[in-house]
Structures are given as structure tokens and as C-alpha cells.
Amino acid sequence: MSSERQARLADRIRVLIAERLEKGLRDPRLGFVTITDVRVTGDLQHASVFYTVLGTDQERADSAEALAAATGMLRSEVGRQLGVRMTPSLEFIPDAIPENADHIASLLREARERDEAVATLAAGATHAGEADPYVKPREPEAD
């Protein structure tokens, strides 16, 4: 199987699931879910669907349960619209992109604050020792 076919199938599955979620499921636990990526195995038998949920930790957990409960229905709908001989099994995996982005942003903010503190200290600092620390040849003493 070509990786090009894998990529096309993954992209089509992502669009189909996103469209179905946009229409809404009858599950009240489902929050604001965004499908971020789909990866299909080389034999086209399994699709890992990565998603994010906007909201609290509880809303993320509820949405994960709702997606797990709707997996069979989503798989049958994907199979019906794909028209392939074998519909891949679906696995929903929470995507850690937002958490990682928040962590990186906080690290960058901390680094910027430390740089500003160092710059403030450096502004009022003086050199330790002599102003010109390099050794110069001695001048002959006059008698």
C-alpha cells in the first residue's frame, strides 16, 4: 500500500468525522471537539483519530466518553461514505497539542522574565578588578 493512499484515506476520514461531529451527536456529554489529525496504519485497517476539546478537564473526560460510546456509529458512517472494502477501526486519542503549547508559552514567558532581570542587573553593573585587565609591557623606569 502506498503512503499516498494512506494519507488520502486519513484525510478523508478526518473530514467525515469532523462533518459528523459538526452536525452533532445525540450525546449531551460531547463538548466542543476538534479533530486535529488522523493516522492510518500501513494495512489501512486501523485509524488513530486525534482530537482536542475546548473546556475544563471534566468536559474533556465527558467528551472522551462520548466519543468512545459513538465509535461504532462513527465507524459505520465512515465506512458507508468511504466506499472501501474494509472500513478501518477507529481509536480516539486526546491530542496534547494545547497543553504542550501552554507549557512552552509559560517556559518562554519565564525565560523572558529572567532575561529582563539579568538585563536590569547588567545595566548597573561595573567590571570587577581593573578597568583594563590586560597585561602591558613595563615601561623602563627613569633614574
Quick: pLDDT tens for 24-56.
Answer: 777 777 778 888 889 998 888 899 999 888 878
Confidence of residue 143 (pLDDT cuts 50, 70, 90): low
Asked if the structure places residue 138 within a domain, the reply is no
Asked if the structure places residue 134 within a domain, the reply is no
Asked if the structure places residue 125 within a domain, the reply is no
Asked if the structure places residue 60 within a domain, the reply is yes
Cβ neighbors of 97 (< 8 A, separation 6 or more) are 36, 52
Q: What is the mean pLDDT of the chain?
A: 84
Asked if the structure places residue 124 within a domain, the reply is no
Asked if the structure places residue 76 within a domain, the reply is yes
Asked if the structure places residue 109 within a domain, the reply is no
Q: To 5 degrees, how large is the angle CA 106–CA 49–CA 67?
A: 95
**Alpha-helix runs per DSSP H in the chain:** 3-23, 57-82, 97-123
Asked if the structure places residue 43 within a domain, the reply is yes
Give buried/exposed letters for 61-83 (b at 16+ CB in 10 A, else e).
ebbbebbeebeeebbebbbeeee
Quick: pLDDT tens for 70-128.
Answer: 888 888 888 888 877 888 888 988 887 767 778 888 899 999 999 998 888 888 777 77
- For residue 53, give the CATH number of its domain: 3.30.300.20
DSSP string of 44-73, one letter each residue? S-EEEEEEEEES-HHHHHHHHHHHHHHHHH
Quote the number of domains for the chain.
1
Domain that holds residue 32: 3-95
